[in-house]
Amino acid sequence: MLSSKEFTLSYNGGYKARYQIPAKTLSLYKLDGKEGNDMNKLSKQCFVMIMIAGLSMTVLSGCDDLAASALSNVSVTVTSQDSSYELKFPQSADQPAADTDNNRDDDKKEAGGFDEIENLSEEELNVLLNRSDLEGLGEIDGTIYITGHKSPDSDTVCGSIACAELLKQLGYDAQAVIIGDINKESAYILKEAGVDAPERLRDESGKNMIIVDHSEYSHDLESLKDANVLGIIDHHGIGSLTTGNQVIYDARPLGSTNTVIWIRYRNYGVEPDRKMATLMLGGILSDTNNLKTNVTFADRAAVSILSKTAGIDDVEAFYDGMHKEFLSHEGMTDEEIFFSDYKEYEAGNTKYCIACVNCYDEDEVRELAERMSKIMPATLKETGMDMAFTQVSVVNDKLNVCYLVYAGDGAKETVAEALADRHPEEKGNVYVLRPGISRKTVLVPALTEVLNAYPKE
Binding site for Mn ion (CB under 5 A): 155, 213, 257, 287
Contacts (Cβ under 8 Å, ≥6 apart) of 362: 394, 399, 401
Q: Which is nearer to Mn ion, 27 or 286 (CB)?
A: 286
Q: Considering the complex, what minimum distance in angstroms separates the CB of residue 72 from Mn ion?
A: 42
Q: Considering the complex, what minimum distance in angstroms separates the CB of residue 289 from Mn ion?
A: 12
Q: H or E stretch including 125? A: helix 122-136
Q: How far apart are CA 319 and CA 305, in angstroms?
A: 16
Phi and psi, residue 72, nearest 5°: -95, 155
**How many Å is the maximal CA-CA distance in the chain?**
88
CB atoms within 10 A of CB 102: 18
The side-by-side arrangement of strands in the sheet containing 342-347 is 342-347, 350-358, 387-395, 400-407, 430-433, 425-427
Q: Considering the complex, what minimum distance in angstroms separates the CB of residue 270 from Mn ion?
A: 22
Q: Which is nearer to Mn ion, 408 or 436 (CB)?
A: 436
CB atoms within 10 A of CB 309: 17
Q: Considering the complex, what minimum distance in angstroms separates the CB of residue 155 from Mn ion?
A: 3
Q: Considering the complex, what minimum distance in angstroms separates the CB of residue 319 from Mn ion?
A: 16
Q: How far apart are CA 418 and CA 438, in angstroms?
A: 13
Q: Which is nearer to Mn ion, 235 or 371 (CB)?
A: 235
Q: Which is nearer to Mn ion, 61 or 257 (CB)?
A: 257
Identify which of 278, 321, 281 has the alpha carbon closest to the alpha carbon of residue 299. 281
Phi and psi, residue 120, nearest 5°: -80, 150
Q: Which is nearer to Mn ion, 148 or 171 (CB)?
A: 148
Q: Are 209 and 230 in contact (CB under 8 A)?
A: yes
Q: Considering the complex, what minimum distance in angstroms separates the CB of residue 257 from Mn ion?
A: 5
Q: Which is nearer to Mn ion, 41 or 235 (CB)?
A: 235
Q: Considering the complex, what minimum distance in angstroms separates the CB of residue 65 from Mn ion?
A: 46
Q: Which is nearer to Mn ion, 57 or 285 (CB)?
A: 285
DSSP state of 439: I
Q: Considering the complex, what minimum distance in angstroms separates the CB of residue 439 from Mn ion?
A: 11
| CA end-to-end distance (rounded Å), the chain | 52
Q: Are 59 and 50 in contact (CB under 8 A)?
A: yes
Strand partners, 234: 251
> What SS3 class is residue 146?
strand
> What SS3 class is residue 355?
strand
Residue nearest to Mn ion (CB): 155
Side-chain half-sphere CA neighbours of 335 within 13 A: 6
Q: Considering the complex, what minimum distance in angstroms separates the CB of residue 256 from Mn ion?
A: 6
Q: Considering the complex, what minimum distance in angstroms separates the CB of residue 51 from Mn ion?
A: 32
User: Strand ranges (DSSP E) for 348-399?
Assistant: 350-358, 387-395
CB atoms within 10 A of CB 454: 13
Q: Which is nearer to Mn ion, 379 or 391 (CB)?
A: 391
Q: Which is nearer to Mn ion, 155 or 325 (CB)?
A: 155
Q: Considering the complex, what minimum distance in angstroms separates the CB of residue 440 from Mn ion?
A: 8
Q: How far apart are CA 93 and CA 431, in angstroms?
A: 71
Q: Are 67 and 47 in contact (CB under 8 A)?
A: no
**Strand 400-407 and strand 55-61: pairing?**
unpaired
Identify which of 211, 196, 219 has the alpha carbon closest to the alpha carbon of residue 147. 211
Q: Considering the complex, what minimum distance in angstroms separates the CB of residue 209 from Mn ion?
A: 17
Q: Which is nearer to Mn ion, 165 or 287 (CB)?
A: 287
Q: Which is nearer to Mn ion, 9 or 189 (CB)?
A: 189
Identify which of 421, 423, 392, 420 has the alpha carbon closest to the alpha carbon of residue 406. 392
Q: How far apart are CA 376 and CA 338, in angstroms?
A: 8
Q: Which is nearer to Mn ion, 116 or 234 (CB)?
A: 234
